[in-house]
Amino acid sequence: MRLNTKSNFRPSILIVDDIAANRFALKNLLKSIDAELIDVESGEEALSKAIELNNLGLILLDVQMPVMDGYETAELLREEEQTQNIPIIFITAVHRDEQHVLRGYSSGAIDYITKPVQPDILSAKISLFMELWRLKFGLEQEIRTRNELEDKNKFLADHDLLTGLPNRRRLFLEIERATARSQRDGTQFAMLFIDLDGFKSVNDSLGHKIGDAVLIKIADRFTKLVRKTDTVARFGGDEFVILFADVEDSQNLIGRIRQVLHASKKCMLIENEEIVLSASIGVCVYPEQIDDPSKLVDYADIAMYKSKQIGKNTFSFFSEEMDAAAHKRVKVEKLLRHAIERDEFDVYYQPVVDAQQEKIVGVEALLRWNNPELGNVSPEYFIPIAESTGLIHNIGAWVFERSVDVISELSSVLPLTLKVAVNASTLQFRNSIWYKTVLKAIKTRKIKPENLEIEITERLLLDDSREVSEQLKAINDLGIEFSVDDFGTGYSALSYLKRCPISTVKIDKSFVTGIPDVKEDMVLIRAIIAMAHGLELKVIAEGIETAAQLEYLKQEGCDFAQGYYFSKPLPINELRIWLENYVSQSERLPNGLDD
């Protein structure tokens, strides 16, 4: 590589002579040299000035000066680390005999120029030294740049680019060090695995720029909470890890964990946006809870998910029961990935009736999974796993297509017009796959839009991200209605129904079970029905098991009903029989088919 020797950083030449006229003459002779010319009148001044100058390239030093001559000045300059390598040329009227020359070289000079000075000789020598200085300076700059780049690369190799915190690679090195220190000193250390609750919503709704600012702010807060012996690392995404060294007692540790929770929840003002998050924390202590440091992250991660399950904004310590549950989850996830191709899924259908007329109007499609190894797996268990792994997209599409095919077939052979309600996960509205699946069914005329209903959860109502809003609108524009499942069990915010294309709310069976004996449930159901009708929404009550429950719901004006009182969820063959009996009995609901 060829170096650029022409630098904007000009070298300096220090002229040292006790006679002002000599200094003036030298500066005049050197004015064509591309260098800064500085003159002083004594050896003492020369020593001081030489140390001040960072770009000193050459010293022109008179030999015969009072108090401190050139020889002594040169010797002292050679003793200083900063000036010991600066070239010195003696300017002297002293006869250049062998004795003086040897003394000059031993003092540190590299050349002699005798007075009176020959301008051409002076210019040639000075120009050469200046070019050498530029080469040296260029090399030093190149080395410095390369060293800085190497240091930067070393830093980036084990630090997070956004927050500057240690990354996952560096974290595992810190775990090794903490383990060695623990084993050597007989101490304990704790790992906190931290996941920010609500960060994805911030990132989706406010953009990645604000999301990044949030992560930087959180990283700064965590860093201020720890000691020099502790470690804060960014594990990835919105996940952080803190290693607390030398944990002495559980109460002190819990106090420090609560500080982390508080720091996570404290309001942030970023670009005029008030942002409030929280944290779910999993804690694992070495070696009290685990003697294998390689599993620390996995176990703390398991405990973190426990914190998520129990409501977020809290912390959980790892336990053996969690480990067993985690192993089961891994096994279920593995088998779930092949459930469609192995034909292990089935769809059951539960009739939905007009509550006032007790006539069949539709069915709800309910997914069932029967695995040869696991047996019947509850949807409440495997659906969250499908969501967390992304499998929900393929599974949801499979349920939808199967349900539409079944209803299309039944409608072609029975004198009934049935609406099918299909459950959809919040995640299915984060991309266009779900919309394309629905659109395909409409375009191929497998089902009319008015005969299709999509059930969503209350959680989706709170998600005001652009992606979700666009998908809801696009599907609604096809003429398809939405209903809110298990209404009243989650956020219970009717105000959110105004901004979403919702046509129906579904009262959860936990409220229906209490009527007509539990006054609070009766009052709540009455209020939900009244408010929903006030918003021009229809109401379905699920979980009806008795005539008394149905009668009360009729009195309150409930639109539709669903439950074991009419029929349990049925596989397709049994549903066909149930519907045939319904038709044969002149559209009166068949009895005795629920046992």
Q: Please indicate, yes or no, whether residues 312 and 370 belong to a single structural domain of this protein.
A: no
Q: pLDDT class for 494, splitting at 50, 70, 90? A: low
Locus of tokens 């399950």: 309
Residue at 39 is within a domain: yes
Residue at 3 is within a domain: no
Residue at 148 is within a domain: no
Whether 69 contacts 44, CB under 8 Å? no
DSSP-derived 3-state class of residue 353 = strand
Mean pLDDT of 45-56: 89
Residue at 331 is within a domain: no
CATH of the domain at 285: 3.30.70.270
Mean pLDDT of 403-427: 91
Report the mean per-residue pLDDT for the chain.
87
pLDDT confidence of residue 3: 39
Residue 67 to residues 59, 72, 74, 83, Cα–Cα distance (Å): 19, 10, 14, 21
Q: Please indicate, yes or no, whether residues 35 and 95 belong to a single structural domain of this protein.
A: yes
Residue at 336 is within a domain: no
Asked if residue 121 has pLDDT above 90, the reply is no
Q: Hey, what are 302's tokens?
A: 């398991």
Q: Half-sphere exposure of 150 toward its Cβ, with a 13 Å CA cutoff? A: 6
Q: Please indicate, yes or no, whether residues 352 and 495 belong to a single structural domain of this protein.
A: yes
- Evaluate the omega torsion of the peptide bond into residue 11 and state whether it is cis, within 30 degrees of 0: no
Distance CA 502, CA 311 (A): 27
The candidate with the shortest Cα–Cα distance to 505, out of 451, 464, 557, 455, is 455
Q: Hey, what are 8's tokens?
A: 């904007």
Q: Please indicate, yes or no, whether residues 258 and 385 belong to a single structural domain of this protein.
A: no
DSSP-derived 3-state class of residue 470 = helix
Q: Please indicate, yes or no, whether residues 175 and 132 belong to a single structural domain of this protein.
A: no
Percent of the chain topping pLDDT 70: 94
- Give the count of beta carbons closer than 10 Å to the beta carbon of residue 423: 21
Rounded (to 5) percent helix, strand, coil in the chain:
50, 20, 30
Q: Please indicate, yes or no, whether residues 304 and 412 belong to a single structural domain of this protein.
A: no
Strand 481-487 relative to strand 189-197, pairing = unpaired
Q: Please indicate, yes or no, whether residues 35 and 129 belong to a single structural domain of this protein.
A: yes
Residue 595 to residues 367, 525, 546, 568, 578, Cα–Cα distance (Å): 20, 28, 14, 8, 13
pLDDT tens string 155-165? 778 899 899 99
Torsion, Cα of 535, 540, 541, 545 (10° steps): 160
Q: Please indicate, yes or no, whether residues 301 and 348 belong to a single structural domain of this protein.
A: no
Q: Please indicate, yes or no, whether residues 299 and 366 belong to a single structural domain of this protein.
A: no
Distance CA 17, CA 40 (A): 7
**Number of compact structural domains in the chain:** 3
pLDDT confidence of residue 588: 62
DSSP codes, 472-495: HHHHHHTT-EEEEEEETSS---GG
Residue at 571 is within a domain: yes
Mean pLDDT of 60-79: 88
What's the full length of the chain, in residues?
595
- Give the count of beta carbons closer than 10 Å to the beta carbon of residue 131: 14
Residue 159 to residues 155, 172, 189, 194, 362, Cα–Cα distance (Å): 6, 12, 22, 18, 57
Q: What range does the domain containing 575 cover?
A: 342-587
Mean pLDDT of 458-486: 84
Asked if residue 1 has pLDDT above 50, the reply is no
**136-145, 481-490, 536-545, range with the lowest pLDDT:** 481-490
Q: Please indicate, yes or no, whether residues 354 and 253 belong to a single structural domain of this protein.
A: no
Asked if residue 463 has pLDDT above 60, the reply is yes
pLDDT confidence of residue 6: 44
**81-95, 239-253, 369-383, 441-455, range with the lowest pLDDT:** 81-95
Distance CA 122, CA 13 (A): 13
Residue at 156 is within a domain: no
Q: Please indicate, yes or no, whether residues 286 and 349 belong to a single structural domain of this protein.
A: no
Whether 190 contacts 244, CB under 8 Å? yes
pLDDT confidence of residue 94: 62
DSSP-derived 3-state class of residue 191 = strand
Distance CA 239, CA 195 (A): 5
Q: 3-state SS of 220-248?
A: HHHHHHCCCCCEEEEEECCEEEEEECCCC
- Evaluate the omega torsion of the peptide bond into residue 501 and state whether it is cis, within 30 degrees of 0: no
Residue where a domain stops, chosen among 142, 177, 205: 142
Residue at 147 is within a domain: no
Q: Please indicate, yes or no, whether residues 314 and 400 belong to a single structural domain of this protein.
A: no
DSSP-derived 3-state class of residue 150 = helix
